[in-house]
Amino acid sequence: DVKVTQSSRYLVKRTGEKVFLECVQDMDHENMFWYRQDPGLGLRLIYFSYDVKMKEKGDIPEGYSVSREKKERFSLILESASTNQTSMYLCASRPTQGIWTQHFGDGTRLSIL
Protein backbone atom coordinates (compact mmCIF):
# COMPACT_ATOMS: atom_id res chain seq x y z
CA ASP A 1 0.00 0.00 0.00
CA VAL A 2 1.09 3.54 -0.72
CA LYS A 3 2.76 5.35 2.14
CA VAL A 4 3.91 8.92 2.66
CA THR A 5 5.53 9.46 6.02
CA GLN A 6 6.16 12.82 7.65
CA SER A 7 8.75 12.73 10.36
CA SER A 8 6.78 14.56 13.05
CA ARG A 9 3.08 14.92 13.79
CA TYR A 10 3.62 17.86 16.12
CA LEU A 11 6.56 20.23 16.37
CA VAL A 12 7.18 23.32 18.50
CA LYS A 13 10.01 25.67 17.61
CA ARG A 14 11.11 29.17 18.48
CA THR A 15 11.20 32.28 16.33
CA GLY A 16 14.42 32.51 14.34
CA GLU A 17 15.22 28.81 14.43
CA LYS A 18 15.98 26.86 11.29
CA VAL A 19 13.33 24.16 11.00
CA PHE A 20 13.44 20.98 8.92
CA LEU A 21 10.33 19.04 7.99
CA GLU A 22 10.97 15.66 6.43
CA CYS A 23 8.82 13.61 4.11
CA VAL A 24 9.49 10.14 2.74
CA GLN A 25 7.47 8.18 0.19
CA ASP A 26 7.85 4.52 -0.66
CA MET A 27 6.16 4.51 -4.07
CA ASP A 28 9.02 5.63 -6.33
CA HIS A 29 6.98 8.71 -7.32
CA GLU A 30 8.73 11.42 -9.29
CA ASN A 31 6.58 14.31 -8.06
CA MET A 32 6.49 15.52 -4.49
CA PHE A 33 4.73 18.53 -2.96
CA TRP A 34 4.72 20.61 0.17
CA TYR A 35 1.52 22.42 1.19
CA ARG A 36 0.48 24.44 4.14
CA GLN A 37 -3.09 24.35 5.36
CA ASP A 38 -4.67 27.18 7.28
CA PRO A 39 -8.30 27.62 8.35
CA GLY A 40 -10.30 29.41 5.69
CA LEU A 41 -7.43 29.34 3.21
CA GLY A 42 -7.41 25.68 2.23
CA LEU A 43 -4.23 24.05 0.92
CA ARG A 44 -1.61 26.31 -0.57
CA LEU A 45 1.36 24.99 -2.50
CA ILE A 46 4.74 25.98 -1.12
CA TYR A 47 7.11 24.00 -3.34
CA PHE A 48 6.96 21.23 -5.88
CA SER A 49 9.69 18.81 -6.97
CA TYR A 50 9.42 16.80 -10.20
CA ASP A 51 12.67 14.88 -9.84
CA VAL A 52 15.77 14.56 -7.73
CA LYS A 53 17.39 17.98 -7.26
CA MET A 54 14.62 19.62 -9.31
CA LYS A 55 12.17 22.04 -7.74
CA GLU A 56 9.67 24.72 -8.56
CA LYS A 57 8.24 27.45 -6.40
CA GLY A 58 4.61 27.19 -5.59
CA ASP A 59 2.24 29.95 -4.56
CA ILE A 60 3.82 30.88 -1.23
CA PRO A 61 7.55 30.03 -1.29
CA GLU A 62 8.75 33.05 0.70
CA GLY A 63 10.55 32.05 3.86
CA TYR A 64 10.88 28.42 2.76
CA SER A 65 13.35 26.32 0.84
CA VAL A 66 13.38 22.63 -0.10
CA SER A 67 15.82 19.83 -0.68
CA ARG A 68 15.43 16.68 -2.74
CA GLU A 69 18.68 14.73 -2.73
CA LYS A 70 17.02 11.33 -3.09
CA LYS A 71 13.89 10.39 -4.96
CA GLU A 72 12.03 9.18 -1.89
CA ARG A 73 12.78 12.15 0.38
CA PHE A 74 11.59 15.75 0.15
CA SER A 75 12.53 18.18 2.90
CA LEU A 76 10.97 21.54 3.67
CA ILE A 77 13.19 24.07 5.39
CA LEU A 78 12.08 27.16 7.25
CA GLU A 79 15.20 29.27 7.07
CA SER A 80 14.33 31.50 10.03
CA ALA A 81 11.03 30.51 11.55
CA SER A 82 8.46 33.19 12.23
CA THR A 83 5.16 33.06 14.09
CA ASN A 84 3.20 33.47 10.85
CA GLN A 85 4.57 30.11 9.74
CA THR A 86 2.59 28.36 12.46
CA SER A 87 0.44 26.00 10.42
CA MET A 88 -0.33 22.46 9.35
CA TYR A 89 2.18 21.25 6.76
CA LEU A 90 1.24 18.48 4.37
CA CYS A 91 3.51 16.51 2.07
CA ALA A 92 2.19 14.64 -0.96
CA SER A 93 3.49 12.60 -3.86
CA ARG A 94 2.26 11.32 -7.19
CA PRO A 95 3.76 9.62 -10.23
CA THR A 96 4.42 11.56 -13.41
CA GLN A 97 2.51 9.16 -15.61
CA GLY A 98 -0.93 7.72 -15.21
CA ILE A 99 -3.04 8.47 -12.18
CA TRP A 100 -3.35 12.13 -11.26
CA THR A 101 -4.20 11.61 -7.64
CA GLN A 102 -1.90 12.71 -4.86
CA HIS A 103 -1.00 10.64 -1.82
CA PHE A 104 -0.67 12.59 1.38
CA GLY A 105 1.17 12.15 4.63
CA ASP A 106 -0.60 12.75 7.94
CA GLY A 107 0.78 16.24 8.25
CA THR A 108 3.00 18.09 10.71
CA ARG A 109 1.35 20.63 12.96
CA LEU A 110 4.06 23.21 13.50
CA SER A 111 3.90 25.88 16.17
CA ILE A 112 6.39 28.73 16.19
CA LEU A 113 6.60 30.50 19.53
Site residues for another protein per CB under 8 A: 4, 31, 33, 35, 40-43, 45, 48, 50, 58, 90, 92, 96, 99-107, 109
Cβ 84 to another protein shortest distance, Å: 19
Listed residue (39, 33, 20, 11) closest to 91, CA to CA = 33
Cβ 48 to another protein shortest distance, Å: 6
Cβ 74 to another protein shortest distance, Å: 14
Strands 10-13 and 108-112: parallel
Sign of CA dihedral 84, 20, 109, 56: positive
